Structure 1
Amino acid sequence: MKNIGIFAITPAQIHFYRNIICELNKKDTNTYLLVRDYGETIQLVKEFEMPHFIFSRPPDSKYGKILNLPKEVLTAYKYLREKNVDLVTGFGIYESFTSALLNVPAITFTDSEYSVNAFTYVIQFYISSLFTDKYITPTSFKQDLGKKQIRVNSFKELAYLHPKYYHPDDSIFPLLGLSKGEPYILIRFNAFDAVHDFGVTGFSLEEKIEMVRSLEKHMRVFISSEGSLPEELCKYQVRIPKNRIHDAIYFASLVITDTQTMATEGAILGTPTIRCNGFVGSADMGNFIELERRYGLLYNFSKYEEISPSSKKIIQNPNSKIECQRKREILLNEKENITDLISQILIHSVKLENTPYAI
């Protein structure tokens, strides 16, 4: 019996590891999930009834998060040492530093090229890379990380949105207060309070209000937000269980967001999706470029003013959703089941077998 420690910091990471954990537990492997009490993460693991250990309750400020890192790593180390883990995995930083203390291998999944992020994130990446044994990245990842890199032909969001795992449930309509099939728009706002968000911006308060007022002239509008909403927009806040957000994305007529993950989720689910934030540009991350240029499933904009023409075009085209669903099928036919791939990599790495995945 092997033991693997898993760090999941955000709701998206909980979704990512949920099916991987199920697969690992079927294959003579114990998994220990470590989570951070931040945002919607705790509520999500409770809704999924996933056993977990809270190793961090971070402060609100970005600098506070950095200063809190040693305490978090020490807490995780003490917990995982008792579990006698053979390997730790996550999305960067925590598994790397904790693995050094435990003297076990660390495997990191990342789809965010460090070169497009803030300087603080670059420093963070380089330091943690000293203790990382393997990096798993999508094939769309533009940077070469050398011998440590394993490229997989997939997106991390397919770990939970692949048809093998995700089945749309139209009972979301009554939860939204809508009749079945009634069109609506879903907007997602980012908090931009993570370390890798230094210097990056999304929608301003004025832009958020203007956008909602403009879009609600066409159909119902719902807002999902990482941070608090201004009083003028509170009535639009979507009030559904956190584990039903993907149904809300799937059945939406349009998704507009300044976040990263939900932009990919909307595209992969075949919903017309517009992404707008400070990351967009010539140095944008490879996964967003591929979703836009290869599959035509995503609109990427760096300026708020660019959104209106595309959103109107989508809303006025009665076939927008059908066209995106067809493009989604092309993507699904070309991409691999990343849950199976990650599970194999983790198991082979623990066993130290003579495979391309062995550490």
Structure 2
Amino acid sequence: MRVLVDVNHPAHAHFFKNIITSLRERGDDVVVTSRDKDCTLELLDSFGEKHLMLSKAQTGLFGLLKELIFRDWRLYKVVRRYRPDVMIAIGGTFITHTGVLSGTPSIVFYDTENASLQNRITYPFATKIYVPRCYQGWLPKGKGDRYPGYHELSYLQRPYFEPNLDIALACGLKRDVPNVLIRMVSWQANHDIGEKGWNTDLLDALLEELKDNNVIITSEAPLPSRYEKYRYRGHFQDIHHLLAFCRLYVGESATMASEAAVLGVPSVYCAETGRGYTDEQETRYKLVNNVRSLNKNELLSAVRDVLGVPEKEFRARAEEMLSGMVDMPKFVISKIEEVVSSNSKK
């Protein structure tokens, strides 16, 4: 098979890494297209992955619309040149439009319900859409299927990932105190339009609460200078080794909250909008505590609640959760095969 993989975000680079490797080991041809957003290109480079950069991420509704038109056209030219049997992506806006224009099947994997505008201009044009069973958003009839799992399994599930303590220590982990990772986001993605994030008062209150812990902050946006001592200083591709040995994750990133859950690390996800997967990880597995407001008292209360539970309890909960999940890379490849086979019979 010839497979085009469109990578638009750092999390997508992680998601597709093992899938791309498995496809190539089978003898399939893979071409990767990329988008210059945050550390996406650096991650792909660190994986040794050759890729065609088609656009630089824009911000705001007008900027995103301009990028959409420009990138759709550039991707169409790549498809005309490489003639893939199928295109795959997370979110999938670019591949679905190009798929209609070129007659190439497109497969979308997604888990973000509140990206309502993106989904409205994407889902109707997709060949197939695969979402976690906990997905709470709209799916077009006859195109969507659900599975037991999360995107983060693709790169953090055994045997695809094994935490390395030496790497974690090099990234700032300390042996003698509990470690807490805080994640700040930039709120500039298409699914963030109209939303806002943490302010410094909220972060200051959290840091005071966690003063007896080793706190490390990773942020998409530059941090004010007074937080410099907390800044994550490891390589961007190594952060999951650090996360795996933390006592707690707190942050604005739903993706990292889910990553923590998969690794057996409890998390407090604090944002005004939620996700189906973090809801399931809270109600079904009690690995995530969702705080739906930017109120510091609610956030601090959630942090205290989590730290009051023995660490080993969260590891046991994670094992229970993972026992019922799909092997994500194998699942994705099976769906690629199904779509390509179905299209070849037409």
**Shift in Å, 1:182:** 4.1
Aligned pairs for 1:218-229 within 5 A? 218-229=212-223
Whether 1:299 aligns to 2:289 is yes
Q: Which residue of 2 aligns with 1:136?
A: 130
Distance in 1 separating the partners of 2:263 and 2:124: 36
Is the CA contact 1:62–1:194 (under 8 Å) kept in the aligned structure 2? no
Distance in 2 separating the partners of 1:123 and 1:192: 16
Q: Which residue of 1 aligns with 2:326?
A: 336
Q: Which residue of 1 aligns with 2:258?
A: 264
Q: Which residue of 2 aligns with 1:5?
A: 4
Whether 1:155 aligns to 2:156 is no
Aligned pairs for 1:237-256 within 5 A? 237-256=231-250
Deviation track 1:152-211 (CA, whole Å, cap 9, x = no partner) reads 111111011111101010013431344446421100001110111112222112212332
Is the CA contact 1:209–1:232 (under 8 Å) kept in the aligned structure 2? no
Is the CA contact 2:173–2:242 (under 8 Å) kept in the aligned structure 1? no
Distance in 2 separating the partners of 1:181 and 1:62: 47
Distance in 2 separating the partners of 1:38 and 1:347: 30
Aligned pairs for 1:341-352 within 5 A? 341-352=331-342
Distance in 2 separating the partners of 1:263 and 1:28: 35
Distance in 1 separating the partners of 2:168 and 2:34: 31
Q: Which residue of 2 aligns with 1:31?
A: 30
Aligned pairs for 1:111-260 within 5 A? 111-113=111-113, 117=114, 121-143=115-137, 145=139, 146-180=141-175, 182-215=177-210, 217-260=211-254
**Shift in Å, 1:125:** 1.9
**Shift in Å, 1:316:** 5.0
Letter in 1 for 2:284: R
Say if 1:233 and 1:21 are closer, same or farther in 2 by CA, change over 3 A: same
Q: Which residue of 2 aligns with 1:48?
A: 47
Q: Which residue of 2 aligns with 1:322?
A: 312
Distance in 1 separating the partners of 2:339 and 2:56: 30
Q: Which residue of 1 aligns with 2:74?
A: 75
- Structure 2 stretches of 5 or more lacking a match? none
Say if 1:335 and 1:211 are closer, same or farther in 2 by CA, change over 3 A: same
Letter in 2 for 1:126: R
SS at match of 2:265: coil
SS at match of 1:147: coil
SS at match of 2:37: coil
**Shift in Å, 1:123:** 3.6
Letter in 1 for 2:52: F
Deviation track 1:271-295 (CA, whole Å, cap 9, x = no partner) reads 1100010103xxxx32111100000
Q: Which residue of 1 aligns with 2:89?
A: 90
Distance in 1 separating the partners of 2:87 and 2:67: 20
CA RMSD of aligned residues (A): 1.9
TM-score by length of 1: 0.90
Identity between Structure 1 and Structure 2 (%): 27
Is the CA contact 2:184–2:220 (under 8 Å) kept in the aligned structure 1? yes
Is the CA contact 2:172–2:232 (under 8 Å) kept in the aligned structure 1? no
Task: State which drifts further: 171-180 or 244-253.
Answer: 171-180
Distance in 1 separating the partners of 2:117 and 2:281: 28
**Shift in Å, 1:4:** 1.1
Distance in 2 separating the partners of 1:157 and 1:127: 25
The total of aligned residue pairs comes to: 342
Q: Which residue of 1 aligns with 2:304?
A: 312
SS at match of 2:321: helix
SS at match of 2:116: helix
**Shift in Å, 1:60:** 4.0
Say if 1:160 and 1:342 are closer, same or farther in 2 by CA, change over 3 A: same
**Shift in Å, 1:257:** 0.8
Is the CA contact 1:62–1:193 (under 8 Å) kept in the aligned structure 2? no
TM-score by length of 2: 0.93
Distance in 1 separating the partners of 2:76 and 2:240: 33
